[in-house]
Structure 1
Amino acid sequence: MNQSASTTERAQLINWCRGEEVDSAHAVLMIGIPEGTDIAFIEETMHTIKVFGRVRVRGKTFNALTKSLMVLCECSRIEDPDQVPNEVLPHGDLVAWMLVVADGATIDPGEGVPTSSFQEKLTKLLQEEGKTLHEAQALYPAEALQTMSPEAIIRAVGDILEKMAKSHNENNAYQRLRIFSGSIPTPSGEESFDSWMDQACLMVQECDCSSREKRKRIGESLKGPALEIIQAARDANPDASPMDYLEALEHTFGTPESGEDLYFAFR
């Protein structure tokens, strides 16, 4: 029973048939064929499946993601689509080729894109992660998704979620900087200036939050002389950027002299 094919694959078959002017009721899409496979061998293999009658290859394309061919075949008959097997194992090969027939495919006439619960589930999943389908299509355009096998689509969605998770984790990593006061020696539980500055620069340069949020995070991590430095910088320039704050701290504490001495000199 040919039931493993997704709506996307059946829609892809129909679209390909329209381009090749092949009757989709007499067409089979073959997925996962090794590159370099001879057309005669493909047709010979398909002739072992009696439900198709005579078969000939009408087109083939290479899928870079799966590193295999997809082949469109036209057959003399498909009397009962339910009798079409899900796959065929070629002679001498250990990997089966997936077979797709057009029964049950539903196409949106305005877009030519399959309407399926898969897209609805993907949209809902992206919304839960604060992303949109448009952002996903920027990574994997609709045209590319239409040429993907189910395994490739799963990998594509996995890539999208991995990128979103990475971005989320990176932003969380910058939510709170360690405490720095500028006191010498460095009190227990505080960061040295160089270590704190490295973290702060990374947050300012790579975090996606607003400048206001970055200034807030810097201020929350400072106390004592260091906090008064950025308060003085803010009073002198209310529009000071997060990098202006860091430069003021660098000018004050980024030398081998005592931070407290430089603080009083700065005042």
Structure 2
Amino acid sequence: MDVCEIIAWCKEKNVALENAVVLSNVPLDITDIVVYRMLDTVKGTAIIGIPDEIGPWPTQVLSATSPSSGSSKGEEFHTKLMSFLQHEGKSLADLQNVASPALTLNTELVSAINSLVQKCQATSPVEAKNYRKLCTFSGLTPTPNGEEDNEVWAEHTTYILEEWQCSDNVKKQRLMEYLRGHTVDIVRFAKVENPSATSCDYLKALDTAFGPTDNVSDLMLKFRNTFQGKGEMLSVYIIKLDKLLYSVLRKGGLKSSALNCLSIGQIIQGARPDDMAL
């Protein structure tokens, strides 16, 4: 039986782990009487004083770091720890011998280590998780089936890049997966010109090649002079403003953190005062 099975057996038989001592490598032909006689040699010894071996058989004390019965996470960690030690041919005494004298392997320490392991597992594989995908983009005109035109693709991609919770290197790799034809060459040229180019730099290069010819100043002037038309729904007006701001963002004219503030300011100035939605 491995340690997991032993702990499960103890629970099934209502045997407290505090009273459990595991003997390993006991031959099958050894009778219970012989085992009891060997155990009698250490009878009355405190549980923490159980020797590493009783006769020729290695011992393991389950209760040395046993967590409380109400701590399922601690029990899981304890079970894995005991299995690992058994696989390595070690005991808890070996682990305690290499620990700092001031450090006791108690329930709080087990819980702290288990919590740290869970946090590492939760954060390390983030970049491998599923992520919202992009549409392919070739920059061709007319737009091929299954693709989006530059304005729609660029706006959507800018938003998705901000949403992806991963490093910029991963963002660049993912972005390249959806580029086709001449767009790949444009990004490669941008990388050669600037080896430290970011994913935003890649988008700027693509927007320069396929986007509107307006510069940042022209776009901001157009944004400041865009007002809600008579009979125009407020939601439609807001979308128009957002598109202009994202065009400025793609050209590097502002930071994403300024989008909301600028949009709200222009909505207040440019929306019709008689619009009930406002």
Query: Shorter-chain TM-score: what band?
Result: 0.3 to 0.5
The alignment's TM-score, normalised by the length of structure 2, stands at 0.33
- Kindly indicate which of the two structures has a greater share of residues assigned to helix: 2
Higher strand share goes to which structure?
Answer: 1
Instruction: Select the structure with the greater relative contact order (CA < 8 A; seq sep ≥ 6).
Output: 1
Larger Rg: 2
